[in-house]
A and B are shown apart, each in its own frame.
Chain A
């Protein structure tokens, strides 16, 4: 199963390092990363593979949400189907 992790917030040093460290800790594989600054907002989107993850998906959602709070950014982790179903015929 694949999920999309989006990180939105003000830019600072170490966001990617921290988020990827958390993903590595839970054995989540990053398939693709796109990162940019849009209208002064740090925007990072990651496509991740969670099939080998060592915690249940809903727990990963919470862990990343916590990580976001520590970093002062908003981190959302969503099943990729929500984007696929909405944006593709």
Chain B
């Protein structure tokens, strides 16, 4: 009846190999909170979130305790605030951001995502107000995360929004310059954003989602790395197979927690995000998995191929382990949050160009990397445009979360703390893209958008 080997394997994965549930994220619709008076809207938002998510953290902790599996974060995602705030007679949504922050404190969650706008084809009044509110909102709140979708395969790339986000990112860094531009760590610019993503900073509760929903994101790069250590020198079929088996087990854990949380909270289960999400802890790195495959340092030649194999095998292994898969699903490569990536940047093995190539074959994009403080808004916009183009053409989600740390020079170390880790400032191409990004308008949707 007792299979000691299997029980001990599970315990070892949790205790020694950093297997954990990264997040239980409760999506909450705020569509019924609209109104003309922003103070009333804030009250409605606060009441709804604190009521719906009253037991979220407690339930997460109970599950953690009873099953012996760490659940690192409990989070909330809400309807994009650009839509919720649109009817308000106001020119700033900073008040709403502060209200979200207060609701996050009251419920005890780690983050609340959804200070967001979707402008891939153009702006509404609410979108404009939201985007203009981002720098101050992120500077005056702690737990609020913001995202803006500027491109999609169906709509093309809104280059006006891309350029504007270049400026907004610079401004956000400026507003939080006493904390090395920390505000930018809570701001993502998307192409093909998904509606059910449990991960931050890009989570929001999409249009097609129910009133409330539970989405779960798993983690476990350390477990995959350890599993690969046992098949040293074997060919790629065996490597892929080993990753698939491990991903299956990791995802089963996510499915169990998601179903349990959903039933205890009486909130429908949405999806499990088949993710490999690193943390700065040694032994919890995606880069180390690639290095285990035989890449001397993450970023050298062969890295993209290794990551492609990893990403695909994670999905293949995970997909059968969960009844509903969604979100971003894939291996994440946030530079500052991954010990191996941090090291690779520090010694010059990983460049921005290689990082961009890596984003073509995994989830999600150019994530949590620091660039010099004097980088122009135009250059940041051009970085966003490149990444958005990769997403648009390949029908995948891509994103940019860049920190132009004020005053920082190439090679400087920037500390964000906690799960966000630290980063060394990466060098960028010295030539300008100003005339390109200033053209404005939209890059048309690609031919592969015409699927009907």
Contact = CB atoms under 8 A, between A and B. Distances in A.
Interface in B1-46: 1-4, 6-11
A31 interface: yes
Contact of A82 (B2, B68, B320): B68
Nearest to B19: A86
A54 to B, nearest CB: 17
Interface in A28-48: 31-34, 36, 43, 45-47
The contact size tier of chain B is: 20 to 34
A8 B272 CA distance: 32
Contacts of A76: 11, 68
Contacts, number: 65
Contacts of B320: 89
Main SS of chain A's interface residues? Answer: strand
A66 interface: no
A45 B4 CA distance: 7
A45 B2 contact: yes
Main SS of chain B's interface residues? Answer: helix
A31 B1 CA distance: 9
A83 B13 CA distance: 12
B1 A82 contact: no
B67 A43 contact: no
A28 B281 CA distance: 38
A34 B2 CA distance: 7
A81 B67 contact: yes
Contacts of B128: none
Interface in A11-36: 31-34, 36
B2 A47 contact: yes
B96 to A, nearest CB: 37
6 contacts: A8-B11, A34-B4, A45-B2, A45-B8, A79-B67, A79-B68
Interface of A: 4, 6, 8, 31-34, 36, 43, 45-47, 57-58, 61, 76-79, 81-83, 85-87, 89
Give 9 nearest A-B pairs by CB, closest first. A78-B68, A85-B256, A87-B6, A32-B1, A82-B67, A34-B2, A85-B252, A86-B252, A86-B249
